[in-house]
Structure 1
């Protein structure tokens, strides 16, 4: 039996915050509409976390800890993240001072990406002596404004990395299962296998956890043991081309933690434009049957091509997993180096083994 959990719900302006106890996402939508007196139906609103992550499925909703702050938005829209609100607040509170100098005026005439970059540079070094502190009791201001049960910085950052990977999983699963041309049995099998592997790897929470800096392969943090992340450069570059290279340490201060939300885990081979179409093509190749078959340590779905001389075809679940969730295909990049254009030269698939 599902137990009710309490959440804090606010609107995009953060002006009103109410506590709501619910058992599922649909109930949260209905109660939010009632509490905020909205003229929407449940299907016309969405929820997002303060770092901009959209709650797209019931399964993801159930992973959220009690007292998580959620922002309701009209479906298809997004509210400002904490980082964007921080920027806006600094701009409004310090307008007279900030307009005093030519360099400061230049700060606010550039594009938002560069504004966030320069803001991050300004924040470097704040509370630097507290960087190594870990426990909430030792550095309480780092946790200010967070609705979390995490007792250490490392635990909190571990969960934030898990959130990003879970988002990729749920979005990919929903997009593929909504395609009518994809055999439902094959898609169901694939995502059961992917989910089992993700649980085994703890949804790669290690990526943001500095305690995992000495790990190996895809079970290692992206940062060093102090918690500093280096930009890995645009998808088509071997490294960040800026000098000095973009870097951030979210373990330093609350402000740095907030700015960290603007950094991206970017797919080299794009998830939506390349990986998903290639996975769908593989799933359409034949009707997969579930058998106790292993390839390179991974359980696979076996497809027998009828009325042909071809050998059995195996779904390459390992490659799909790596391209969706691991550093084989993910680069951690500063907002300036995040290119949202098509990655034409990076092709995924075919995700079949013979």
Structure 2
């Protein structure tokens, strides 16, 4: 879907040394103008755009959802820029290296990966006022909103949108991967994507996951933090809970530092999206088509045969998604298998 009018964006490079304004109606125009502004010896197909939290903007439809003046980072295909969180802990490590490596206690503190300690490090260096965690509105805690390109007036509104962004990205990536499969029955695929999109719109892209105001809602609409905004790592995909002695915990509502570091926390699919769910969806679409074409007595409708609800739950809900600290995010192959997504 192309924007009918141009929207302005802030474009920077991976080093974030240069920032320019670009107005465009779609990604293709944005790429062309970015190449001109930065005088790149590249073609539009050789670059793509990334948000500061690491999310890639890969479709016109996703671009349209972004607010005007959103900061976009151009990178070469196959490359990625550092996220805000990565820049934070790198800066802390370099600027305070001499101080932090002095003494046994501090050295012991760094025996684990820097990422596993980053929110404690931010607390050590800057001091986090717990009382400010309860504040919601921007005018009472302006430093929390520092550096954000957002119209949100409360922390909860901002966190709601960040959860939406993560779930929306899963949809766009899934749609893109399925549309590349020319061997799938296209009519049935379009029906599935339409149904998934409608369910996501009805649920507001599950933005409630990070919104602490939703603490007292029912199981479907409840946030995954407590009423104060504390998130606890739910453990690696094959574990019931976080297996670290002191479970990983963070409250992005406390300070700008913890908000930034929260970007390092992942929504991890127990049954993997690319390795398991996508193949299971493809198998279901093919099987459904085969049944209908091969047996005239099969009168079941597409809606009955294809288990859209299970697909939706596995892709976009906490029935299959866990919030995990970066140390508990296992990127290796998971043994859990998705599907079959056929109801006979």
TM-score tier by shorter-chain length is over 0.9
Task: Say which of 292, 302, 307 aligns to 1:304.
Answer: 292
Alpha-carbon separation, structure 2, partners of 1:108 and 1:33: 42
Q: Which residue of 2 aligns with 1:251?
A: 253
- On the 8 A contact 2:49/2:75 being kept in 1, the answer is yes
Equivalent position SS for 2:246 = coil
Is the aligned partner of 1:32 residue 2:31? no
- The correspondence of residues 1-354 of structure 1 with structure 2, limited to 5 A, is 2-105=4-107, 110=112, 114-124=113-123, 126-287=128-289, 304-307=292-295, 312=300, 314-344=305-335, 346-354=336-344
| CA RMSD between the two structures | 1.7
Out of 17-26 and 158-167, give the one that drifted further: 17-26
Alpha-carbon separation, structure 1, partners of 2:9 and 2:276: 36
- On the 8 A contact 1:6/1:19 being kept in 2, the answer is yes
Greater helix share, 1 or 2? 2
- On the 8 A contact 1:204/1:218 being kept in 2, the answer is no
Q: Does the C-alpha gap of structure 1 residues 311 and 226 become closer, same or farther in structure 2, counting only changes over 3 Å?
A: same
Greater strand share, 1 or 2? 1
Alpha-carbon separation, structure 1, partners of 2:4 and 2:24: 10
Q: Tell me which stretches of 4 or more aligned residues in structure 1 moved more than 6 Å.
A: none
Structure 1 position 305, deviation (Å): 4.8
Alpha-carbon separation, structure 2, partners of 1:109 and 1:339: 20
| TM-score, normalisation: structure 1 | 0.91
Alpha-carbon separation, structure 2, partners of 1:27 and 1:330: 35
Alpha-carbon separation, structure 1, partners of 2:109 and 2:93: 10
Alpha-carbon separation, structure 2, partners of 1:52 and 1:107: 27
Alpha-carbon separation, structure 2, partners of 1:10 and 1:232: 35
Structure 1 position 327, deviation (Å): 0.6
Task: Flag structure 1 segments of 5+ consecutive residues without an equivalent.
Answer: 289-302
Equivalent position SS for 1:238 = coil
Task: Flag structure 2 segments of 5+ consecutive residues without an equivalent.
Answer: none
Q: Which residue of 2 aligns with 1:292?
A: none
Out of 179-188 and 44-53, give the one that drifted further: 179-188
Q: Does the C-alpha gap of structure 1 residues 11 and 104 become closer, same or farther in structure 2, counting only changes over 3 Å?
A: farther
Alpha-carbon separation, structure 2, partners of 1:286 and 1:263: 37
- On the 8 A contact 2:288/2:305 being kept in 1, the answer is no
| TM-score, normalisation: structure 2 | 0.93
Q: Which residue of 2 aligns with 1:299?
A: none
